[in-house]
Amino acid sequence: MPIANKFIHGALMRSPLYWENLHISSIFKMPSPTDETIPLLVILGPTASGKTGLAIRIAQAIGGEIIGADSRQIYKYMDIGTAKPTPLEQAQAPHHLIDIIPPDEPFPVARYQAMVYDLIPQIYARGHIPMLVGGTGQYITAVTEGWAFPQVPPDAMLRAQLEADAESLGVQALYDRLMQLDPEIAQIVHPNNVRRVVRYLEVCLITGQRVSDLQRKKAPPYRILELGLVGERHILYDWADKRVDKMMAMGFLDEVKRLLDMGYSRKLPSMSGLGYSHLVRHILDGESLDEMVQQTKYDTHEFIRRQQTWFKGHDNGILWHNVQEYDMVAMIAHIRTWLGW
């Protein structure tokens, strides 16, 4: 069923797993953190859909602690362009996995997953509700589906050759090769993310198998409720465009200049993010600022489409809410019922 058809003007859509979850919640009695009934509330949706504000309100209502699920907000010094929660917003509810590494430090999905799995029981042991919040589908799915990651040591010579191919043939040629070898895994990585494309190709070529086949899933020991924000694309595009304009007014260009002055290379994965790579082209290559801002908006639209496709492909019972008309009171009441309160 298309995402857009799974909501009606803010009404709570009950997925096929709703009644199963309700049945489980009816016998839920605050078990010890070692029990396989630790609740994990997930709030997901495309960029600029209002996840941060919604998550803070819910956290305040249920005593939640927010675990970020954003592959750009993990970096220090990258605040404006990542739409990182402000200090004031972070003061309104506990936040985790924000500002944890410098922009030049590698951070594989496996490391993110391990950190989240460490945090969830810690939060629950404090008497709070762990909340996974963000729009990076790979992060969220790795946690909720229990991805396992193939342990394949890097091959320095092969990796160097692949990186050389990216330089000589272009990143799209490298991505097309990955698409041929493993189309499923290619769908979850942006063509410009050279580091990840190279790694996936490396694993395919070393093992002779698809990465998607090597990834095994084992459901984590949590009771999960997923809430999603969804809306008509033209609405989301408009909100995203206005957010880009706001970022520029807040000093996004100066933020990128500071990162370059600090010695962070334009080739880093962190600097390939929306807006950052575009403003680097203005700063270092002299491309028009207006054109780069407009291109940031276009690429954000494409990113929103990719996010929606990802969530649709990994919808295991997401309860979707209209970004414009959701009922906050009903949403919190449903969460409390799910918690058994």
Q: What is the pLDDT of residues 116-140, one digit of tens each?
A: 999 999 999 999 999 999 999 999 9
What is the percent of the chain where pLDDT is above 90? Answer: 79
In a domain, 199, yes or no: yes
Q: In what order do the strands lie in the sheet with 64-69?
A: 95-96, 64-69, 129-134, 38-44, 222-230, 319-322
Query: How far is the C-alpha of 296 from the C-alpha of 310, rounded, in Å?
Result: 21
The string of pLDDT tens digits covering residues 314-336 is: 999 999 999 999 999 999 999 99
What's the confidence (pLDDT) of residue 31? 39
pLDDT, residue 202, reads 93
Same domain, 245 and 227: no
Specify whether 275 is located in the same domain as 335: no
Q: What is the mean pLDDT of residues 138-165?
A: 91
Residue 218 pLDDT? 85
Rounded to whole angstroms, the Cα distance separating 306 from 3 reads 13
Let me know whether 82 and 99 are in one domain: yes
Query: Element (H or E) spanning 66, and its range?
Result: strand 64-69
Indicate whether 264 belongs to any domain. Answer: yes
Q: Are 109 and 149 in contact (CB under 8 A)?
A: yes
Triad 325, 331, 333: Cα angle to 5°: 145
CATH (domain of 256):
1.10.287.890
At 187 the pLDDT is 85
Mean pLDDT rounded to a whole number for the chain: 88
Cβ contact 332:18 at 8 Å:
no
Domain CATH code at residue 199: 1.10.20.140
Kindly report the number of other CB atoms within 10 A of residue 276's CB atom: 26
pTM of the model: 0.80
Report yes or no: 237 and 301 within 8 Å, Cβ to Cβ.
Answer: yes
Query: In 10 A of CB 204, how many CB atoms?
Result: 22
In a domain, 307, yes or no: no
Confidence category of residue 215, pLDDT binned at 50, 70, 90: confident
143 and 13, same domain (yes or no):
yes
Are residues 288 and 181 part of one domain? no
* Residue tagged 């009644």 (tokens): 19
162 located within any domain: yes
Residues 80-109 have pLDDT tens digits of: 999 999 999 999 999 999 999 999 999 989
Lowest mean per-residue pLDDT among 11-25, 49-63, 254-268: 11-25
61 and 128 both lie in a single domain: yes
Same domain, 73 and 127: yes
Is residue 305 domain-resident?
no
> Average of pLDDT values for 51-63?
98
Q: Are residues 161 and 287 in the same domain?
A: no
Enclosing H/E stretch for 222: strand 222-230
For residue 83, what is the domain's CATH number?
A: 3.40.50.300
Query: 137 and 200: one domain?
Result: no
Give the confidence band of 149 by pLDDT, cuts at 50, 70, 90. Answer: confident
Residue 154: pLDDT band by 50, 70, 90 thresholds? confident
pLDDT score recorded for residue 1: 36
As for how many domains the chain has, the answer is 3
User: Is the same domain home to 226 and 199?
Assistant: no
- Do 274 and 333 lie in a common domain? no
Query: Is residue 181, in this structure, part of any structural domain at all?
Result: yes
Mean pLDDT of 201-230: 91
> Residue 311: inside a domain, yes or no?
no
Q: Are residues 24 and 138 in the same domain?
A: yes
Q: Is residue 304 part of a domain?
A: no
Report which secondary-structure segment, H or E, holds 25. helix 18-25
The pLDDT of residue 13 is 35
**The pLDDT of residue 49 is above 60:** yes
Burial of 299 (0-12, 13-18, 19+ CB in 10 A): middle
pLDDT category at 36 given cuts 50, 70, 90 is: low
Contacts of 190 by beta carbon, 8 Å cutoff, 6+ apart: 272, 306
> Exposed, middle or buried by CB within 10 Å (0-12, 13-18, 19+), for 333?
middle
Band (20; pLDDT cuts 50, 70, 90): very low
Residue 29 has pLDDT above 50, yes or no: no
Distance from C-alpha of 131 to C-alpha of 54, rounded to nearest angstrom: 12
Give the residue numbers spanning the domain of 33: 3-148+222-231+317-339
Instruction: Identify which has the larger pLDDT, 94 or 22.
Output: 94
